[in-house]
Amino acid sequence: MPKLIVLSGPDAGKQFPLTGPTVTVGRHSGNAVHLNDNRTSRRHLELRVTISGGYQLFDLQSGNGTQVNGRHVQVIDLRPGDRIELGDTVLQYAADGSEIKTREKLDTTPATHDRTRLIVRPTTEYPSAILRTVAADVGEQILARPDQAGTDWLRARLANLAVMYEAASAVSQILDVDELLGRITDLVVRTTDADHGCVMLSDPDTGELMPKTVRSRASSSGGDFVVSRTVVDHVLRTGQGVLVADAGADERFRGGESIARHQIREVICVPMKGRHETVGVLFLDTSATAALVSLPLPLESVAGPGASKFSEDHLRLAVAIAHQAGLAVEETRYYQAMVQAERLAAVGQTIAALSHHIKNIMQGVRFGSDMVRMGLADDDRALLVKGWRLVEKNQVRIDELILDMLSYSKDREPAVERTDVNGLAEEVLDVVRGRAADRGVALEWHPAVGLPLVPCDPEGIHRALLNIVTNALDATEGAAAPRVTVTTELAAGGAYAEISVTDNGPGIPAERVADMFKPFVSTKGSKGTGLGLPVSRKILREHGGDVLVETAEGRGSRFILRIPMAVAEGPTKPLD
């Protein structure tokens, strides 16, 4: 099934399956692909199925336009691997690739992994049967200048890019390492007419080589697939790809492992070299009974008298493809390590922030409990009531922290119903009216006359608005005549219902505005959790709306909760 993968932007990491004949993309929650990107249009672009089964992209006169592979487009047929840029989001179009067609059926049974053995030679001397060696950096040279390849055969193969294009396409389109290595092994076995192929990767922690993919032709003899540790160690030690023409000279067959049993005649083994390290090896072999492949060059010039299936050109081609695979594996490992590091850093930051907030709350509970205990001991009712109120206040704080954590930590589908937003705002004001009176803050309420019912989740909007109003009350602390004003209105020609919360506090410095919606970033010190604004924005974006801010240092702030008036039912959820 084709899909869109979010490479970067607010929804980075999500994947959206493309299931219908027409798929809309934009920030509106009614789109099949709903993006939480404020720089995209409500209905930014549309994908339509073509006769061939692919998709054609149509830009829907979006505000910021659409780019495909760095070029502005209005209409374009998408190809697997195309990068689509809209707003701050970068998508990649991926379509399930058809299986590589081979001239012979390949055995892809995973069980062959368990039948692959490394045989260690007792000495470090390498057999004299190596005919050629090729440095690992030859792969980079071949990819950069295919016209300078060594022979007519290789020039022809690289000139039409048939083999290298398949390898490059696999590397660019397949994100799963195991699937990628399987495709690469299929390609090399098919191209070189090898009887067996194996990719072995080194474990990042232990350095131990482990078979990842194994391929065998159906026509090859059964039994174990033997990988010579001597050959592999030599390749890893020297960083060179090797072609072994007389595998019988390898001592792995001594001590009962006879060449008659394994019928191994020729071996190609090349390093999978990334930018910084060698991540593994690609190992190919062929038996004495295999059919010969016809190549436009005298094989004797490479392998000596007698017919050989492998040539130096096969060796060079294997080095080039293994280099591409090595780069992909190294990049994937680097990305996984980076994601893991960021995840651990985020977990550490979360634990530290929560510990800090919970500690502050518990200090309030403990202080209130001490006052209650002293009031009981001294029969001081006033002290008892004061202590109990302090305990209740901190109980509310920890309840709010838990609710914010739950709201922020998981996606939820809004339970949309037609809601009286004016009535909902009045309920929020009733909740905070006592707190405002205690602080001497004037609450002003200006409801829109004739505001229609708004399709939204009343519980979610109530929580978001309560967070914003509470923040506004806190922001007015220290103002000469503290005031918070709440208004409702229809905006953008009736496309949105907006709830505005304005305070006359000190405002927010311009350099801090970008960080306001990050979790655990608070301007209230120990009084705030740093989750109120992120939770509020998350709730509004789940509705297809947003929380906007207008502020100037020394002039107060205005927060706008924007709710779309039209919400389509049943938007497609992104894949986990």
Within this chain, do residues 403 and 353 fall inside the same structural domain, yes or no? yes
> Which pLDDT belongs to residue 24?
95
Q: What is the CATH number of the domain that holds 444?
A: 3.30.565.10
Give start and end residues of each alpha helix (H) in 379-415: 381-409
Within this chain, do residues 395 and 309 fall inside the same structural domain, yes or no? no
Within this chain, do residues 275 and 187 fall inside the same structural domain, yes or no? yes
- Band of pLDDT at residue 222, cut at 50, 70 and 90: low
Residue 88 inside a domain? The answer is yes
Q: Rounded mean pLDDT of 5-21?
A: 87
Mean pLDDT across the chain, nearest whole number? 77
Report the range out of 171-175, 301-305, 479-483, 565-569 with the highest average pLDDT: 479-483
Residue 434 inside a domain? The answer is yes
CA dihedral 461, 463, 465, 471 (to 10 degrees): -160
Residue 155 inside a domain? The answer is yes
Helix, strand, coil tally for the chain in percent (to 5): 40, 25, 35
Residue in this structure with the two tokens 């019928």, named with its chain if needed? 263
Residue 101 inside a domain? The answer is no
Q: Residue 561 is which amino acid?
A: L
Report the range out of 210-224, 457-471, 514-528 with the highest average pLDDT: 457-471
Residue in this structure with the two tokens 């083999």, named with its chain if needed? 163
- Band of pLDDT at residue 26, cut at 50, 70 and 90: very high
- Band of pLDDT at residue 530, cut at 50, 70 and 90: low
Within this chain, do residues 136 and 169 fall inside the same structural domain, yes or no? yes
Distances (CA, A) of 512 to 201, 262, 500: 46, 69, 21
> How many domains does the structure of the chain reveal?
4
- Band of pLDDT at residue 294, cut at 50, 70 and 90: very low
Nearest by Cα to 236 from 196, 193, 207: 207
Within this chain, do residues 400 and 423 fall inside the same structural domain, yes or no? no
Within this chain, do residues 209 and 231 fall inside the same structural domain, yes or no? yes
Q: Is the pTM of this model over 0.85?
A: no
Within this chain, do residues 356 and 275 fall inside the same structural domain, yes or no? no
Residue 14 inside a domain? The answer is yes
Q: What percent of the chain has pLDDT over 90?
A: 22
For 359-375, give the DSSP string: HHHHHHHHHHHHHHHHH
Q: Which residue has the higher pLDDT, 401 or 93?
A: 93
- Band of pLDDT at residue 542, cut at 50, 70 and 90: confident
Residue 253 inside a domain? The answer is yes
Residue 358 inside a domain? The answer is yes
Distances (CA, A) of 217 to 193, 289, 317, 489: 9, 13, 20, 71
Lowest mean pLDDT among 421-425, 459-463, 500-504: 459-463
pLDDT higher than threshold 70 for residue 493: yes
pLDDT higher than threshold 80 for residue 405: no
Residue 527 inside a domain? The answer is yes
Question: Both tokens of residue 358?
Answer: 């919970």
Within this chain, do residues 33 and 182 fall inside the same structural domain, yes or no? no
Within this chain, do residues 400 and 260 fall inside the same structural domain, yes or no? no
> Which pLDDT belongs to residue 149?
59
Full 3-state SS string of 242-291: EEECCHHHCHHHCCCCCHHHHCEEEEEEEEEECCCCEEEEEEEEEECCCC
- Band of pLDDT at residue 514, cut at 50, 70 and 90: confident
Q: What is the CATH number of the domain that holds 61?
A: 2.60.200.20
Within this chain, do residues 149 and 279 fall inside the same structural domain, yes or no? yes
Within this chain, do residues 496 and 437 fall inside the same structural domain, yes or no? yes
* Listed residues 409, 428, 459: the one ending a domain: 409
pLDDT in tens, 324-378: 888 888 888 877 777 777 777 767 766 766 676 677 678 778 888 988 999 898 8
Which domain, by its residues, includes 493? 417-564
Q: What does the alpha-carbon distance between residue 5 and residue 17 come to, in Å, rounded to a whole number? A: 9
Question: Both tokens of residue 503?
Answer: 């305070």
